[in-house]
Amino acid sequence: MGFQMQPYGIQSMLKEGHKHLSGLDEAVLKNIDACKQLSQITRTSLGPNGMNKMVINHLDKLFVTNDAATIVNELEVQHPAAKICVLAGKAQQEEIGDGANLTISFAGELLQNAEELIRMGLHPSEIIRGYSKGITKTIEILDELVEQGSDTMDVRNKNEVVSRMKSAVASKQFGQEDILCPLIADACIQVCPKNPTNFNVDNVRVAKLLGGGLHNCSIIRGMVLKNDAVGSIKKMEKAKIAVFAGGVDTSATETKGTVLIHNAEQLENYAKTEEAKVEELIKAVADSGAKVIVSGGAVGEMALHFCERYKLMVLKISSKFELRRFCRTTGAVALLKLSQPNPDELGYADSVSVQEVGGVRVTIVKNEEGGNSVSTVVLRGSTDSILDDLERAVDDGVNTYKAMCRDSRIVPGAAATEIELARRLKEFSFKETGLDQYAIAKFAESFEMVPKTLAENAGLNAIEIISSLYAEHAAGNTKVGIDLEEGICKDMSTMNIWDLYVTKYFALKYAADAACTVLRVDQIIMAKPAGGPKRDQPAGMDED
């Protein structure tokens, strides 16, 4: 179809097959539309009453989740402008680990409102200016909304941690946050280092075991390995542990070699010497005081035989990351080669035992005292998708803990902050003289999206809720938000629902940035995809 027409304008400069879109209608509004569509998908997942999405990715894996970061990750968004929103969400996920949905939905709302402004006749650059002013002012106001006295907190105080974590976890697993939060808080507090800012999220592990229910969840100081011990010794208490990264086996040469035997005597002794060598090595390990051997690779039959003989428990951990964590838990140094470990290279665990949980045999490595570097949240649930979703909730909780270790300031949750921001920003907009007044007003209006969505998702009347919220806030009750359970407006400080300041801060900032970036684009030029469909093939194979 394009072939008959004579190429003109920019088309004539480009190779055939390029796409070129420009102008308000073709580029800006289309982009806005795409972002809007994306935010519509994620929006219904916002808040405690958000709905789940079932996403089946290209590898046929099923996700059932309301975690926006996961949804957009698996959606494989193609549209370039919508991708900007996705990236903003991902940035939020990486920076804070929570609030990705707020970022994407808010960016979508900002863009939707921008569309109205454009139709009114404003130029995108004016909108961008207004939005930039809006976000700067928002952050100023947000600073003022911070709850008094919340900037210092004891990150080891469970109650304080739980109150800050609750809203993040509740938005993923509503109705179950009362069970999950204390678990996550305990796990985090256990591994919190002396200097809380060094808290490493990797130190809180999650073990998902099918079967049972949420009330069977527990935390373990130490690790849960999802496999059985190798030998017949399944339990060891107060054990020193030797870790060998390279595997416990007779050493074989890498280079292909053949043993030359010259006479009968050599033949007879061949097997014996090998055996003696293995025994010597295992004996050396046993002599060092170790009671448990952990192998990062294969465990040879001969080696296992002698381990049993010397009453050593043998564990196999094939994942290098897992092995590293194991070393951290027990304080062991991983040795490359099977040899006698020095006393300071041995780790220690209070108990290492194999237990059966829900039909699966797991090895539980416990360290009640001292070695508090790794803790594990054991999740139980009836389906894989529930477990995966619980895991994401735990991840969010742990990330929130990390965030609060750095900055513990909090703001009222459940849309109280948003409404206050909207109200104050609107007031601010009236004082502006330029055209950006409109943009700032719209920016303020965008905040209404949060209470609106929360109310809609909960099956409440959004308009009623928002108006009564405004009324309360105008009356000076700045901490009033939505109580979703009863469907009325309440003071959030009494309900103890708080959001972390940093989460809000970054979510709003990223959203505003993303919106401005999308608005700034007025031309899209797409190169012709090279190579045709075959190009995807190798990548697809790799992922398998």
Partner 1 sequence: MAMVGSSIEQQPQIILLKEGTDTSQGKAHVVSNINACTAVADAVRTTLGPRGMDKLIHDDKGNTTISNDGATIMKLLDIVHPAAKILVDIAKSQDSEVGDGTTTVMLLAGEFLKFEKIFIEDGVHPQNLIRSYRTACYLAIEKIKEIAVSIEGKSMEEKKSLLAKCAATTLSSKLIGGEKEFFASMVVDAVMAIGDDDRLNLIGIKKVPGGNMRDSFLVNGVAFKKTFSYAGFEQQPKKFLNPKILLLNIELELKSEKENAEIRLSDPMQYQSIVDAEWNIIYDKLDKCVKSGAKIVLSRLPIGDLGTQYFADRDVFCAGRVAEEDLRRVAAATGGTVQTSVNNFVDEVLGSCEVFEEKQVGNERFNIFSGCPSGQTATIVLRGGADQFIEEAERSLHDAIMIVRRALKNSTVVPGGGAIDMEISRFLRTHARSIAGKSQLFINSYAKALEIIPRQLCDNAGFDATDVLNKLRQKHALGTGANYGVDINTGGVADSYTNFVWEPAVVKINAINAATEAACLVLSVDETVKNPKSESAQGEAAASAMAGHGGAAFRGRGGRGMRR
Q: Would strands 360-366 and 347-357 be described as parallel, antiparallel, or unpaired? A: antiparallel
> Least CB distance from residue 508 to partner 1, whole Å?
24
Q: Is 34 in the site for partner 1 (CB under 8 A)?
A: yes
The two structure tokens encoding residue 18: 């390029």
Q: Which of 27, 28, 53, 388 binds partner 1 (CB under 8 A)?
A: 53
Would strands 204-210 and 375-381 be described as parallel, antiparallel, or unpaired? Answer: parallel
Our CB check for partner 1 shows the closer of 64 and 139 to be: 64
Which of 10, 24, 57, 289 is in the footprint of partner 1 by CB under 8 A? 57
Size of the site for partner 1 (CB under 8 A): 92
Got the DSSP string for 410-445? EEETTTHHHHHHHHHHHHHHHH--STHHHHHHHHHH
Residue whose C-alpha is closest to residue 295's, from 329, 327, 331: 327
Closer residue to partner 1 (CB): 308 or 522: 308
378 lies in the binding site for partner 1 (CB under 8 A): no
From the list 161, 169, 201, the residue with the least C-alpha distance to 66 is: 169
Regarding 30 and contact with partner 1 (CB under 8 A), the answer is yes
- Sites for partner 1 among residues 224-283 (CB under 8 A): 232, 257-265, 267-268, 270-272, 275
Contacts of partner 1 in 415-474 (CB under 8 A)? 457-459
104 binds partner 1 (CB under 8 A): no
Angle separating helix axes 264-287 and 301-309, nearest 10 degrees: 50
Question: Please, which of residues 65-94 interact with partner 1 by CB under 8 A?
Answer: 66, 74-79, 82
User: Distance (Å, rounded) from C-alpha 19 to C-alpha 540?
Assistant: 26
Told to check if 26 binds partner 1 by CB under 8 A, we report yes
54 binds partner 1 (CB under 8 A): yes
The closest alpha carbon to 492, from 428, 416, 382, belongs to 416
Selected binder of partner 1 within 14, 64, 333, 495 (CB under 8 A)? 64
Specify the stretch interacting with partner 1 by CB under 8 A; choose among 89-97, 122-130, 289-297, 530-538. Answer: 530-538
Stretch that binds partner 1, among 240-248, 299-307, 438-446, 468-476 (CB under 8 A): 299-307
Task: Give the distance, in angstroms, between the CA of residue 498 and the centroid of all CA atoms in the same chain.
Answer: 20
Given 339, 383, 461, 467, the residue binding partner 1 (CB under 8 A): 383
- Taking the least distance from each CB to partner 1, the nearer of 30 and 324 is 30
> In terms of C-beta density within 10 A (0-12 exposed, 13-18 middle, 19 or more buried), how is residue 510 classed?
buried
DSSP string across 265-306: HHHHHHHHHHHHHHHHHHHHHHHTT--EEEESS-B-HHHHHH
Q: Which single residue is written with the structure tokens 């959001």? A: 499
Examine residue 10 and tell whether it contacts partner 1 (CB under 8 A): no
Q: Which stretch binds partner 1 (CB under 8 A): 97-105, 323-331, 359-367, 490-498?
A: 359-367
Nearer to partner 1 (CB atom), residue 96 or residue 465: 465
CA distance 328 to 294: 13
Options 27, 28, 49, 512; binder of partner 1; rule CB under 8 A: 49
Min dist. Cβ of residue 475 to partner 1 (A): 28
Answer yes or no whether residue 121 interacts with partner 1 by CB under 8 A. Answer: no
Rg (CA), the chain: 30
